[in-house]
Amino acid sequence: MKKFRDTYLKKLHIGNLTTDSNVFMAPLAGYTCYPFRRMCRKLGAGLAFTEMVSANGLKYNDKATAKLLYTDADEDPKAVQLLGCVPSAFEAACKGAYTADYAVVDINMGCPVPNIIKNGEGCALTGDLPLASRIIEACKRSGKIVTVKFRPGMNRNQITVAEFARMCEDSGADMITVHGRTRNMMYDGEPIYEYIAAAKNAVTIPVIANGGIDSEEAAVRMMEQTGADGVMIARYGLENPMIFAELTGRQTGETRLSLLLEQCGIAAACFDELAALDYLKKLASYFMKKLPGTKKLKPALYQCGSIRQMQDILIRIFGETEE
């Protein structure tokens, strides 16, 4: 099988930033907090984005929203994803204190969730190019690197991908990421490579391909079929973050157990114990997918009441299953 690192791996120039690799971790609500992003970067991800953060929430100093932006000095470069539909809110968020440490701002124009669409946010913006353009321009006024993540359109009868890609570039975007599924496909089905290829052929800025990448074979196929400049891993990164090491050739010597135990320490240092345990339980559950004999141990995982108990149950679960 063709190796990604032998044919497609490269550093990527985005604005005035050069990334270590062209394999990125997508923003995922509830998961891509600082400890997780730090793990992905350690394993070879060139960028790892925060979960989507409400631009409006930051404008009005919502504390719960601000918590999503926890970071540390060793995370470099820092990349935040913002959600919304009001240009002035985006500009305020990009220029505000909460994002001051973040060099890269990604604009969410691809979320397919009904409540987001109803608000005119996420993928709904693919149907309003003038508004989407004003949002990008508002973010660019902050002086930050601006990227846009979007879908080809709401459905196969409303495909705007090439036109939307050109609008992004013309409005000042430094990079785009195209999720190869339409809004009505949600997260199911094979990504449609021709839509991503159409975006790549329409612009000169870097184009990142996203959707359905759950193996090195899928990553290679995505690059072959689309001509993209890199790939963005999404949900499979939760199940097997070692995919970043596999694609980039990073030699780490890590196992699922060693990664999770390290995550325990980082999460405990960043969050209160309740928040740390909530995150660790969700992450460990993803790590357990497809591991034989682990289902019966899930109740013990969910009943953990302390970091110390969590460490013990992780050793019990993964110490028996690691190859």
User: Mind listing the pLDDT tens digit for each residue in 102-126?
Assistant: 999 999 999 999 999 999 999 999 9
| Domain presence at residue 129 | yes
User: Do 52 and 148 fall within a single domain?
Assistant: yes
pLDDT at position 67 is: 84
pLDDT at position 318 is: 86
Q: Are 57 and 65 in contact (CB under 8 A)?
A: yes
User: Do 212 and 266 fall within a single domain?
Assistant: no
| Domain presence at residue 171 | yes
| Domain presence at residue 323 | no
- Of the candidates 94, 111, 123, 304, the residue annotated as catalytic is 111
Q: Does 94 participate in catalysis according to the annotation?
A: no
User: Do 162 and 293 fall within a single domain?
Assistant: no
Domain limit, last residue, from 248, 267, 298: 248
| Domain presence at residue 272 | yes
- Return the sign of the alpha-carbon dihedral for residues 170, 176, 181, 184: negative
Looking up tokens 């397919």 gives 112
Is pTM beyond 0.75? Reply is yes
Task: Return the SS3 of 32.
Answer: coil
Which of 39, 10, 20, 72 is closest to 258 using CA atoms? 39
Q: Which domain holds residue 157?
A: 4-248
In this predicted structure, the answer to whether residue 320 has a pLDDT above a threshold of 70 is: no
How does pLDDT run across 239-271, given as a tens digit for each residue?
999 999 999 999 888 999 999 999 999 999 999
User: Do 291 and 151 fall within a single domain?
Assistant: no
What is the number of structural domains in the chain? 2
Rounded CA-CA distance 299/143 in Å is 48
User: Do 266 and 226 fall within a single domain?
Assistant: no
